[in-house]
Amino acid sequence: MGNNFIKKFFCFFIVALVTIVQCGCTNALNFRHAYDQGVKAYNEKNYESAIVYFNNALSYKPESYSTLCLLGTSYAYNKDDKMAERTFQDAIRLFPDDWNAYILYADLKRSQHDYPAAIDFYETAITLGSMGGKEKAYYKKLLKEIAIEEAAYDAKNSFASDMSEDSFKANVEAKKKLLEKQDKTIENQTGDVVLALDLKKWEKAIEQKDDKSKLVEYGIKGEDVKNFKWTQLVIVQYFVLSDNFKTTLDEYYKNHIGSVEAVAKNSNKTFEKKIIHQKNNEITYEWKFDNSKEAEISRIVYTDKGIYHIHFAKKGAFTDQEKAKYLDLLKTAVLK
């Protein structure tokens, strides 16, 4: 009786396993067929058929990155910007570290003359480790052209009715000079961060630097920051990016916030975090520690040469007024 049961069980198991394997193979074959048909239609510029085939392929393999990118591009060529955006967003959400979808989304935004969004996506793609050096160089050059294109478009559409040709050219030239100035600033970064602090209230308490990093702490005048006796604190950090220290904006943020979370966890204290604003090269965030007994609002900015990080810390929670004030102050931080 027992042996018969075991034989029947194994027979059932083998049949079920074969069925699963066959089903998996069938799905793979169906995906490949639909995908290949989609590529064929795409290459023939038959975008309506390509959309049908690529959607069919995704029904068998929903997380196919190449299919999502080709589907989004097919929608874009077929003048369905809404579906193109949705598809590129899905690709970025599922594969945040792959650069192609960011570029395709940026191309779409550029075609719509939404230059700020396009520039954000191009710049984000450039920061990703998956993008090769040649591609980075190409898109950095392209960004300069797009900035000039944006200036020309804005001038033409916003002021065309009353702007002379000379004024139009002057607007474009001014944009070129600004870009050249920004490039020079990046090349000559020193790690000194200028911040619009009220020096009647704040004073420099600690300064440490070497050839790889710099740290400056400001405390309220009269408070003993060096012995950790403070009610409010400003910390400005700068880290040089080099072959020995390579990171991305997201990686740097996760490592930093992870270390603070670890302190909270090890001390059994509460910890809340929130990203207030994030774009291509910067993150502004806040956290609250130990039921808001200590809080911080910070901004991290990523550049080609290094990362600078400004913290506004306080014993106790920030009021809405203080939060607004410090967020405005964080925006004033720039590299010398």
Rounded to whole angstroms, the Cα distance separating 42 from 54 reads 10
Kindly state whether residues 200 and 107 are assigned to the same domain.
no
Beta strands in the chain (DSSP E): 193-194, 202-209, 213-220, 232-240, 271-279, 282-289, 294-302, 306-315, 334-335
Of 312, 315, 304, residue with least CA distance to 333: 312
Amino acid at 97: D
Residue the block writes with tokens 């040469």:
305
Of 157, 159, 147, residue with least CA distance to 110: 147
Kindly state whether residues 182 and 213 are assigned to the same domain.
no
Summarize the confidence of residues 195-215 as an average pLDDT. 84
Give 41-84 pLDDT, tens digit per residue. 999 999 999 999 999 998 888 888 999 999 999 999 999 999 99
Which residue, 162, 187, 212, sits at the end of a domain? 187
pTM value is: 0.46
pLDDT computed for residue 175 by the predictor: 55
Give 5's pLDDT tier (boundaries 50, 70, 90): very low
What total number of domains does the chain contain? 2
Give the CATH number of the domain where residue 99 resides. Answer: 1.25.40.10
Kindly state whether residues 178 and 121 are assigned to the same domain.
yes
Using CA of residue 53, residue 55, residue 56, residue 62, what is the dihedral sign? positive
Range of the domain at 223: 193-335
Kindly state whether residues 49 and 159 are assigned to the same domain.
yes
* Least confident stretch, 184-188, 221-225, 297-301, 306-310: 184-188
Kindly state whether residues 160 and 179 are assigned to the same domain.
yes
* Least confident stretch, 69-73, 179-183, 215-219, 224-228: 179-183
In this predicted structure, the answer to whether residue 241 has a pLDDT above a threshold of 90 is no
Kindly state whether residues 227 and 160 are assigned to the same domain.
no
Kindly state whether residues 95 and 243 are assigned to the same domain.
no
Kindly state whether residues 210 and 183 are assigned to the same domain.
no
Kindly state whether residues 205 and 300 are assigned to the same domain.
yes
